[in-house]
Amino acid sequence: MVKVGRYNALKVIKTVDFGVYLDGEDKGEILLPARYIPENCRIGDIIDVFIYFDSEDRIIATTEKPYIQVGEFAYLKVKSTNRVGAFLDWGLMKDLLVPFREQRVNMKQGYYYTVYAYLDHESGRIVASAKLNKFLNNLPIDYEINQEVDLLVVQETEIGYKVIINNTHWGMVYYNEIFCNIEKGDHIKGYIKHIREDEKIDVVLQPVGYEKIDTLSSEILRSLHENEGYMPLSDKSSAEQIAEHFSCSKKNFKKAIGALYKQRLILILENGIRLNEK
């Protein structure tokens, strides 16, 4: 069954001058315009496409990658507003509508907002909502401690950052457990640390059980993030170079990067250190 607002693997069944038609099963034949056709595409090929509605509300396919799919959350920019609602840039030619009734505050052009994409049952169209709570914490909590999860950073608070876990639940990452730069809208990996009796979920950005990162180690990590993941300092650098950057001894620097290496957070190279982006 073809899912509107999601990626689908569909078979090419017919070619025309302006594109190819795909087998949309219950949706009938779906056009993939010529500009999106993969090289050497033939009848019978299976293509991964995103299915949505064009500006004339016709079902259509594209190989472009939208920033959000139905059932997901994302941090998107408002391109324009009118009496109908706000229109977001989601990476496709037709903008994504947030109706007025789905706005928590009046959305403004040029600003970013976290939204949820869904199929409106009345119109059948793909729309978005900024009223996040009604789409979260609706499923039973089924996480294990130290389970790796996908996070979307939503809001900075007095104690840390509120995040959305796997597009299903709210979570919290506390300031004292953040050792890198994160910002609103970031998609990052995290790990379940604790599920409270009130079913609130605490998340960390390193696997549970890693030794606590000390102040120097966290400073090294921050510097790496601020310098595109690389620094020309290593255990072979001079004590003077290390002291100039981190105001510490070479012995303490070597101990700190050794701990980060054991935790698989960095790579130690011949002439520097690099974040491990595995």
Which pLDDT score is estimated for 211? 47
Of 40-44, 74-78, 183-187, 246-250, which range is least confident?
246-250
Compute the mean pLDDT over every residue in the chain, rounded to the nearest whole number. 92
Cβ atoms 204, 194 nearer than 8 A: no
Distance (Å, whole) CA 145 – CA 70: 28
| Residue 14 to residues 18, 20, 21, 40, 246, Cα–Cα distance (Å) | 11, 6, 5, 14, 64
Q: Homologous superfamily of 148-204 in CATH?
A: Nucleic acid-binding proteins (2.40.50.140)
What are the structure tokens assigned to 18, written together? 């302006």
Q: In the chain, which residue ranges form alpha helices assigned H by DSSP?
A: 215-226, 239-246, 250-262
**Is pLDDT of 123 > 90?**
no
Cβ atoms 140, 195 nearer than 8 A: no
Could you tell me which CATH number the domain at 7-62 has? 2.40.50.140
pTM tops 0.85: no
Domain ranges of the chain: 7-62, 73-134, 148-204, 215-275
Fold agreement (7-62, 73-134)? yes
Please give the class, per CATH, of domain 73-134: mainly beta
* pLDDT digits 0-9 by tens, 201-249: 999 987 765 544 567 888 898 889 889 899 999 888 888 888 888 877 7
Total residues belonging to the chain = 278
Could you tell me which CATH number the domain at 215-275 has? 1.10.10.10
Distance (Å, whole) CA 230 – CA 208: 25
Query: Which regions of the chain does DSSP assign to beta strands (E)?
Result: 7-16, 19-23, 29-33, 46-53, 59-62, 73-81, 85-89, 96-99, 112-119, 126-129, 148-156, 160-165, 169-174, 187-195, 201-204, 230-231, 266-268, 273-275
145, with CB counted inside 10 A (0-12, 13-18, 19+), is: exposed
Angle ∠(227,233,234) on CA atoms, nearest 5: 130
Cβ atoms 61, 30 nearer than 8 A: yes
Phi and psi angles of residue 26, each rounded to the nearest 5 degrees, phi first: -65, -15
